[in-house]
């Protein structure tokens, strides 16, 4: 316990003063004792430092204020060229689970510390809304496909209706439209008349007609000219009718070639075999038909004119079919949109089953069955990821290499690794990747270099800070001096300080720094501390390195 000195009363003091009761002693608390000890120790250390500094100042004159030259002999030593940097250990691969969907977690079949494999299910989230969207999208697609098929079926009829054909063989006697006209369905387009063939309809006694047949030869006599023309039976009436005198007759239509003089006002009689017609009849043209529009729209083509001869079913014009093509294109577009909607819904459904993208160990599991997974609330809940997985089969880290050294670095170079958190151990690795995407700051560019750690040291954990030394070259035993001993001349030459005449005293100590001389040297490779001398110095020759007053002061304190 810390002791405290008490004041004693003087023998000459008045009795009443000595009789006064003594004040109670206040014992310091232990905490104050420790502070007092620390302050005492600090004062002792400070006194020792001041004593050392005073001795240094008395022995070294003005050395602490003006700086000194430190001598170093050029020596042959092993030189390893290296580039150093620092980084933080990371697993070779990591997967921080992210998702844009939210909902109740239905399955989460894994735990922290468990090993999972690529493709394993991590979370299955309730996707009822998306499943409903998929059903609706499927119905929309089926409806669009049905509409398209109906249009496709109608297209054949529409194409037929859009094509204008001759309804008979004959001559165009009249055209009612011109090319480019807008025509309505049912409107007349042209009249066709067959003058080359004439038809004569005459009655025969029913008894005689009973033995006739279509295609049977007949003979026709033209009234007035008595010209006889060969013909054939074209049609036989289905029933008998009452003829002149009350006899039963049947109408027979005979087809003959027009010799040129027959018209629809000419008359004639006919005989078939031994039978003759009961009376004469009037000739009619072989065909007299009208072409009627079966579609509405613009008549974009008309290939005939009045007086042209046509044959039955010959194409003589056509309507614009653009409207049907537009309808088909629109229907096809609706199908594509419906397919895209369905695919998007199906893709969203996949998002509700979250699987691992790597083989690794589960580091974090932040949601379980029954929880509502919603990463949009991460800032409020503090949960950044539903789960985190590390592939610890290998460890890696990045270091930043300056532009002056980056060309020395190559993939495969050996690396020595140390960590403050793991004292006394050195690890090894290799350069795995050199990234040429550099970052420029204050006029200097640094490039990231990735190092792969050899093996999987248990002592190294993700997030640990490490120092790395990339072995660029093992130069072997070469002549070296400290890097600080070399300076740059005005002409760009490399110089070192050596002792000139009168610079050293009898004991070989530097007596007059003003007599130091600059000597040009040729430099080779270097590490962080030493640089190779190719020419200009011999082994054992002493070079001098200037140490400023501040550096010398620190050297004295460290000493």
Cα–Cα distance measured from residue 118 to residue 356, given in angstroms and rounded to the nearest whole number: 5
Burial of 244-280, coded b for 16+ CB within 10 Å and e otherwise, reads eeeeebbbbbbbbebeeebeeebebbbbbeebbbbee
Encode pLDDT of 309-322 as tens digits. 999 999 999 988 77
Q: What pLDDT is attached to residue 550?
A: 53
Residue with more model confidence, 12 or 308? 308
pLDDT at position 245, please?
78
Burial of 444 (0-12, 13-18, 19+ CB in 10 A): exposed
Q: Which two three-digit tokens encode residue 502?
A: 């009168």
Helix (H, G, I), strand (E, B) or coil at 364: strand
How far, in Å, are 247, 432, 550 from residue 39 at the CA level? 158, 52, 27
Quick one: pLDDT at residue 167?
92
Q: What's the rounded mean pLDDT across residues 381-400?
A: 93
For 244-259, what is each residue's pLDDT tens digit?
778 899 999 999 999 9
d(CA 225, CA 293): 42
Q: Which of 47-51, 456-460, 550-554 has the highest mean pLDDT?
A: 456-460
Q: Are 295 and 185 in contact (CB under 8 A)?
A: yes
User: At 37, is the pLDDT very low, low, confident or very high (cuts 50, 70, 90)?
Assistant: low
Shortest CA distance to 333 belongs to which of 138, 137, 141, 153?
141
181 DSSP 8-state letter: -
Between strands 267-272 and 121-125, the pairing is unpaired
Question: Which residues are within 8 A (CB) of 501 and not within 5 positions of it... i.e. 6 or more apart?
Answer: 515
CA–CA separation, 281 and 220 (whole Å):
11
The C-alpha atoms of residue 294 and residue 354 are separated, in whole angstroms, by 61
**Tens of pLDDT along 167-217?**
999 999 999 999 999 988 889 999 999 999 999 999 999 999 999 999 999
Distance CA 42, CA 40 (A): 5
More confident residue, 124 or 8: 124
pTM of the model as a whole: 0.52
Pairing mode of beta strands 267-272, 309-310 = unpaired
Q: Are 187 and 292 in contact (CB under 8 A)?
A: yes
Q: Looking at the DSSP assignment, which residues form a beta bridge with residue 318?
A: 163, 301
Contact 358/389 with Cβ under 8 angstroms?
yes
Confidence band, pLDDT 50/70/90 cuts, at residue 31: very low
Q: What's residue 4's pLDDT?
A: 34
Kindly state the helix (H) or strand (E) to which residue 251 belongs, with its residue range: strand 248-257
Longest dimension (CA), the chain: 194
């Amino acid at each position: 316990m810390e002791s405290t000195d008490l004041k004693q009363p003087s023998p000459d003091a008045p009795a009443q003063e000595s009789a006064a009761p003594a004040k109670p002693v206040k014992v310091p608390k232990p905490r104050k004792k420790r502070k007092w000890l620390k302050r005492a120790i600090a004062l002792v250390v400070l006194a020792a430092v001041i004593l050392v500094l005073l001795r240094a100042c008395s022995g070294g004159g003005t050395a602490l204020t003006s700086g000194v030259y430190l001598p170093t002999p050029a020596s042959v030593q092993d030189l390893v060229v290296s580039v150093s940097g620092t980084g933080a250990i990371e697993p070779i691969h990591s997967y921080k689970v992210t998702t844009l969907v939210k909902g109740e977690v239905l399955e989460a079949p894994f735990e922290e510390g468990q090993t999972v494999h690529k493709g394993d299910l991590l979370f299955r989230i309730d996707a009822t809304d998306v499943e409903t969207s998929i059903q609706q999208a499927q119905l929309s697609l089926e409806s669009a496909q049905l509409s398209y098929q109906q249009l496709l079926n109608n297209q054949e009829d529409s194409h037929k209706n859009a094509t204008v054909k001759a309804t008979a063989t004959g001559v165009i006697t009249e055209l009612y439209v011109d090319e480019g006209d807008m025509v309505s369905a049912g409107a007349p387009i042209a009249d066709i008349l067959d003058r080359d063939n004439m038809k004569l309809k005459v009655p025969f006694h029913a008894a005689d007609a009973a033995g006739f047949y279509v295609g049977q030869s007949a003979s026709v006599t033209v009234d007035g000219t008595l010209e006889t023309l060969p013909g054939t039976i074209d049609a036989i009436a289905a029933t008998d009718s009452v003829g002149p005198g009350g006899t039963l007759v049947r109408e027979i239509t005979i087809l003959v070639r027009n010799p040129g003089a027959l018209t629809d006002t000419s008359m004639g009689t006919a005989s078939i075999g031994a039978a003759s017609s009961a009376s004469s009849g009037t000739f009619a043209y072989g065909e007299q038909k009208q072409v009627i529009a079966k579609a509405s729209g613009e008549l974009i083509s008309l290939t005939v004119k009045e007086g042209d001869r046509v044959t039955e079913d010959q194409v003589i014009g056509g309507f614009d079919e653009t409207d049907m093509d537009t309808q088909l294109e629109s229907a096809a577009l609706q199908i594509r949109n419906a397919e895209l909607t369905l695919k998007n819904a199906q893709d969203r459904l996949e998002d509700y089953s979250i699987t691992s993208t790597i083989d690794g160990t589960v580091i974090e599991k932040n949601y379980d069955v029954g929880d509502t997974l919603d990463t949009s609330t991460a800032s409020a809940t503090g949960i950044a990821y539903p789960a985190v997985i590390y592939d610890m089969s290998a460890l890696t880290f990045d270091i930043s290499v300056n532009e002056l050294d980056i060309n020395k670095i190559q993939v495969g170079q050996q690396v020595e690794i140390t960590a403050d958190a793991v004292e006394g151990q050195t690890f090894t690795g290799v350069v795995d990747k050199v990234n040429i995407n550099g970052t420029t700051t204050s006029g200097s560019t640094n490039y990231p270099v990735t190092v792969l750690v050899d093996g999987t040291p248990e002592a190294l954990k993700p997030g640990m800070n490490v120092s790395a030394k990339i072995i660029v070259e093992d130069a072997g035993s070469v002549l070296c001096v400290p890097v600080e001993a070399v300076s740059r001349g005005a002409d760009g030459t490399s110089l070192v300080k050596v002792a000139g005449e009168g610079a050293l005293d009898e004991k070989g100590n530097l007596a007059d720094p003003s007599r130091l001389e600059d000597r040009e040297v040729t430099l080779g490779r270097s590490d962080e501390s030493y640089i190779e001398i190719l020419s200009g110095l011999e082994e054992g020759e002493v070079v001098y390195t200037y140490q400023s007053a501040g550096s010398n002061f620190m050297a004295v304190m460290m000493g």
